[in-house]
Amino acid sequence: MTTVRTPAGWPATEEEARAVQDALRAKVVLDEPGPPPGTGHVTGVDVAYDDERDVVAAAAVVLDAATLDVVAESTALGRISFPYVPGLLAFREIPTVLAALEALPRPPGLVVCDGYGLAHPRRFGLAGHLGVLTGLPTIGVAKNPFTFTYDEPAAPRGSTSPLLAGTEEVGRALRTRDAVKPVFVSVGHRVSLDNACAHTLALAPAYRLPETTRKADALCRRALREAASALTVD
């Protein structure tokens, strides 16, 4: 496991963080289709927090996109690098997630975040932030629609409906299982929304959540438990 320090110059206030968002958001690429589903590698990233100890654990799990077998994984442990502020959660997670990605023994390919990309009040969630910093194609697949509205998709798997901020489509509600609550897909960087939805369906053959999220969630929680045990022993 990699241990991470908060980078020098990391934003310390809401004003500083919003200024960074504004600068980086202009670098998001929205006119590339992204890799075809079922090809190459796809990597899930997720984090788990221990607020009492001021610790965050991040995991990156690389899957073979065709078989969904795990081919590599890594974890990183760091201090929580920013206070909890809705809309600025990426600043709590990015340093540790970047460290987990950098520790992988092979290129991650498409990165799937348990969170948001354009479907964010400032149109720059974790998926966009991570994509711009790494240059990797990224998407966000969230469990809830944040503050946005949508009509229920039709019941069959694969059905979608627009996720809307007023009249602007910021993502899609996607049914990954028949008649089960949808997930909420948005573009991060260098992937089209159609392709992001196709990837999400390919990654969710049996469960509501994509295998990237399921595996990264389990790994970061395990890393956090192990870190807590070590801290207790020390």
DSSP tag of 149? B
Residues 6+ away with beta carbon under 8 Å from 204: 176, 177, 183, 210, 211
Distances (CA, A) of 154 to 160, 161, 162, 163, 164: 7, 8, 12, 14, 17
Residue 72 has φ and ψ, to the nearest 5°, of -165, 155
Residue 171 CA to residue 123 CA, distance in Å, equals: 11
Check whether 51 is labelled as a binding-site residue.
Answer: no
Check whether 114 is labelled as a binding-site residue.
Answer: yes
Beta pairing class for 41-50 and 55-64: antiparallel
3-state helix, strand, coil in the chain (%, to 5): 30, 25, 45
Is the separation of the CB atoms in 208 and 183 below 8 Å?
yes
Q: Which segments are annotated as binding site?
A: 46, 114
Q: Which segments are annotated as binding site for Mg(2+)?
A: 46, 114
